[in-house]
């Protein structure tokens, strides 16, 4: 996970230990980087201009599993520092 993703995750879920991290650390890293560092909401400045295929796949999987999470949201997806 990137440092920014770790900071954002810790702000939202202090002291949370992921059981998925133990069984599938690669998936957890991709998802956490996406969820906590690669989405910008309306009014936030974009962090980059390129989107990774993994980020897009993680976003699509999130929409399929939890469509209510982004109802009426204006989102940007990017690869930070690109």
Domain spans of the chain, in order of start:
3-77
Assess contact for 56 and 23: CB atoms under 8 A: no
pLDDT by residue for the chain (82 residues), tens digit each? 778 778 877 877 788 877 888 888 888 887 777 777 766 667 776 666 566 677 777 778 888 888 887 788 877 776 666 5
Q: Which pLDDT belongs to residue 82?
A: 59
Q: Which pLDDT belongs to residue 15?
A: 85
Q: Which pLDDT belongs to residue 26?
A: 84
Distance between CA atoms of 28 and 82, rounded to whole angstroms? Answer: 22
79: which DSSP letter? B
């Amino acid at each position: 996970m990137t440092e920014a993703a770790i900071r954002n995750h810790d702000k939202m879920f202090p002291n949370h230990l992921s059981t998925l991290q133990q069984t599938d650390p690669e998936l957890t890293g991709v998802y956490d980087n996406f969820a906590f560092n690669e989405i910008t909401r309306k009014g936030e400045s974009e962090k980059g201009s390129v989107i990774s295929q993994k980020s897009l796949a993680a976003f699509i999987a999130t929409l399929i599993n939890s469509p209510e999470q982004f109802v009426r949201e204006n989102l940007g997806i990017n690869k930070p520092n690109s």
